[in-house]
Structure 1
Amino acid sequence: MIPPDLRGRRDRDPFWVAVNAAFNGIQRVRSLRDPAPPRVRPVDRTMRLTVLEVREEAEDVAAVRLGAADGRALPGWQPGCHLDVLLPSGRRRQYSLCGDPADRRTYRIAVRRLPAGGGGSVEMHGLREGASLAVQGPRNAFPFLAHDRYLFLAGGIGITPILPMVTAAERFGADWRLVYTGRTRASLPFLDELPAGRVTVRTDDEHGVPSAADLLGDVPGDVPGGTAVYCCGPAPMIDAVRAAVGEDATLHYERFAPSPIVGGKPFEVELGRSGRVLAVPADRSALDVIRDVLPDVAYSCRQGFCGTCRTGVRAGDVDDRALSDQGDATMLTCVSRATGGRITLDL
């Protein structure tokens, strides 16, 4: 037994003193270290849906209705939302939801067949009732905001995001009108679903190609904040409307094709896996040039929001350099450009 000291206290056992000191030292070292970040596990939000119906809505336009095989309720959505559709071929495409947001059992999308396109529309037109599709979303890149007065402009298949907006505006009792354009009446889907009385249909074969003035009417001279303009259609239509709408009106638009490249500078892309070097001219995107030699490279929206074409950057700098979950540099090849002479991609 360890004898007590003069004050009646026992001496501390040297062994336990050493153990306690070692333990405290380990704790201090641990406290100086940065805490390990929590492990982030990616969440797979992919849904497997069944094709319930494929219906011809207009010339070369098919409406596809999707639902869960067990009939369960689907995630809710708002006008302007779209679905990411993962096709059996591996292609990923975005299609606007054009049904009724109150219907929680089915989603409806519509696709115009483009034989000279990237193949996604042709594949969608080949779907049959009972087929299974993987989808993600809904996501909203074209939000519909509350307003007292609306002007809706739709060109052809551009009616798909506009249709639920028109329905919502009608239900809200808002002041609205729609100008719906296309080549012919036979090419315009969902004509029979539009409320009567506030819709102007203009077709090229009957009225000629409309000008911005034909589409906008008196909106450019509207009172400040008076009219919200929602426009979806071909690029020339959107560009003309953008140029004509004054600052007093609020313009919202969505493209189905990439906008032209303005002020671009040429650069080079080196494909890291093969070492091949491609020249990207000032008026083309890196994606377009890469597709010339790698036609199966993944892409979808070509406008920089879906992320399908995001590619690792091995060397060089780009104008929207971002980091992946692993901390590696990436770029969107559909819209991003190199800030220097050459970049090397993980392709």
Structure 2
Amino acid sequence: MTVTTDLHPEPGLEVLLHRREIAADGVVRLTFTRPDGGAFPAWEPGAHVDLVLGQDLVRQYSLCGDPADRTALTVAVLDVPDGRGGSRRVHGELAEGDRVRLRGPRNTFRFLPASRYVFVAGGIGITPLVPMVAAAAASGADWRLVYGGRTRSSMAFHEELTAAHGDRVSIVPEDENGVLDLDALLPRPDTRTRVYCCGPEPLLRAVEERSATWPAGTLHVERFTAAPGDDGPQGSFEVELAGTGATVHVPEDRSVLEAVEDAGVPVLFSCREGTCGTCETGVLEGVPLHRDALLTEEERASGEVMMICVSRSCTPRLVLDL
């Protein structure tokens, strides 16, 4: 099977599914290579790629392989029966030898230098943390990983992580040990510590609540779905495109991305949920209303960029770098 249909202005690379393996109950590990045997672009821990699985079916998956190996890219995909179709396509149809379109890698979850790290994973949220753990170990930093899941058999990578790193890794299956005791696991970090967390929304929210008194810049999270929306301006507004001077009306029921598309302007996009960062756009005038799951509080406060797939405007007019 070849899945290459894509209306996105960035076509990406055609890649070959070289190997498909069971990583855990309900999780498959996919390793992609280039049909021409060439090298992939360099990437760093925290990066993700877009898989184009059909028309308007584009999904983001974190890279969980070795950044030093430029010959292959590896992702792990959880089967979500009641999801939006991406995991069903991967689990039900994608086979070794198939070709798909891949875009990226991109990185919105950057692994930053520190002398100490705490990694917190929930379920499939382990995927971006696997190369981070390896990088932390290679750097000589002090670190620990706390990894929770429903059952031990559903937790991908747990055996190789414990085999490689021993008691630095704590595996906490809920059916054996209950839910993660975050109060015990997350004492207040100091300024030398970075905390990286990825997993389901309840876990992320719980960690964010506990981080209120931590030093600024300590906590780094990645969401696989958009954060819950907030109350803010819902009305229409105008967007001026700085590149052409054209003005686009954004009605209440359309996103900035949709309005710009309707005006015939090609824009890079992928998730349409504010989780991948592909549509990040510079803001030259006006005050954006941020509804993405990516920007830090400092980046939001600066108002210099916005994710036009979900974010709106606090002012009647925005001028965008488009």
TM-score bucket (shorter structure): 0.7 to 0.9
State the structure with more CA Rg: 1
Q: Give, in angstroms, the shift of residue 132 of structure 1.
A: 0.5
Counterparts in 2 of 1:165-184, with a 5 A limit? 165-184=132-151
Counterparts in 2 of 1:267-278, with a 5 A limit? 267=235
- Residue 299 of structure 1 contacts residue 309 of structure 1 at CA under 8 Å; is this kept in 2? no
What is the TM-score with the length of structure 2 in the denominator? 0.72
Which residue identity lines up with residue 199 of structure 1 in the other structure? V
User: Which structure exhibits the higher relative contact order, with contacts defined as CA atoms closer than 8 Å and separated by 6 or more residues?
Assistant: 2
User: Structure 1: how far apart are the matches of 2:136 and 2:275?
Assistant: 29
- The residue number in structure 1 matching 2:101 is 134
- Taking structure 1 as reference, are residues 309 and 76 closer, same or farther at Cα in structure 2, changes over 3 Å only? closer
> Are 2:180 and 1:210 aligned?
yes
Structure 1 segments unaligned to the other structure (5+ residues)? 1-42, 270-277, 288-297, 311-316, 322-330, 342-347
Deviations 1:233-277 (A, max 9, x none): 1111111111112333711111111111122344479xxxxxxxx
- Coordinate RMSD, CA, aligned: 3.4
- The residue number in structure 2 matching 1:164 is 131
> Are 2:206 and 1:240 aligned?
yes
User: Structure 1: how far apart are the matches of 2:275 and 2:231?
Assistant: 17
What is the TM-score with the length of structure 1 in the denominator? 0.67
Task: Say which of 65, 70, 74 aligns to 2:40.
Answer: 74
- Residue 18 of structure 2 contacts residue 97 of structure 2 at CA under 8 Å; is this kept in 1? yes
- Residue 118 of structure 2 contacts residue 195 of structure 2 at CA under 8 Å; is this kept in 1? yes
- The residue number in structure 1 matching 2:222 is 254
Which residue identity lines up with residue 111 of structure 2 in the other structure? F
- The residue number in structure 2 matching 1:264 is 232
User: Structure 2: how far apart are the matches of 1:207 and 1:159?
Assistant: 18
> Are 2:13 and 1:50 aligned?
no
- The residue number in structure 2 matching 1:226 is 192
Deviations 1:62-114 (A, max 9, x none): 11100011222211111011111111343111111000011111000011111
- Residue 318 of structure 1 contacts residue 336 of structure 1 at CA under 8 Å; is this kept in 2? no
- The residue number in structure 2 matching 1:292 is none
- Residue 14 of structure 2 contacts residue 99 of structure 2 at CA under 8 Å; is this kept in 1? yes
Which residue identity lines up with residue 166 of structure 2 in the other structure? A
Which residue identity lines up with residue 79 of structure 1 in the other structure? P
Q: Give, in angstroms, the shift of residue 146 of structure 1.
A: 1.3
- Residue 211 of structure 1 contacts residue 240 of structure 1 at CA under 8 Å; is this kept in 2? no
- The residue number in structure 1 matching 2:65 is 99
Q: Give, in angstroms, the shift of residue 57 of structure 1.
A: 0.6
- Taking structure 1 as reference, are residues 244 and 301 closer, same or farther at Cα in structure 2, changes over 3 Å only? farther
Which residue identity lines up with residue 302 of structure 1 in the other structure? E
SS in structure 2 at match of 1:177: strand
- Residue 288 of structure 2 contacts residue 312 of structure 2 at CA under 8 Å; is this kept in 1? yes
Which residue identity lines up with residue 54 of structure 1 in the other structure? R
SS in structure 2 at match of 1:83: strand
Task: Say which of 28, 33, 40 aligns to 1:62.
Answer: 28
- Taking structure 1 as reference, are residues 205 and 279 closer, same or farther at Cα in structure 2, changes over 3 Å only? farther
- Residue 45 of structure 1 contacts residue 137 of structure 1 at CA under 8 Å; is this kept in 2? no
Structure 2 segments unaligned to the other structure (5+ residues)? 1-8, 238-250, 257-268, 291-305, 317-322
- Residue 224 of structure 2 contacts residue 275 of structure 2 at CA under 8 Å; is this kept in 1? no
Give the count of matched residue pairs.
Answer: 265
- Residue 81 of structure 1 contacts residue 97 of structure 1 at CA under 8 Å; is this kept in 2? yes
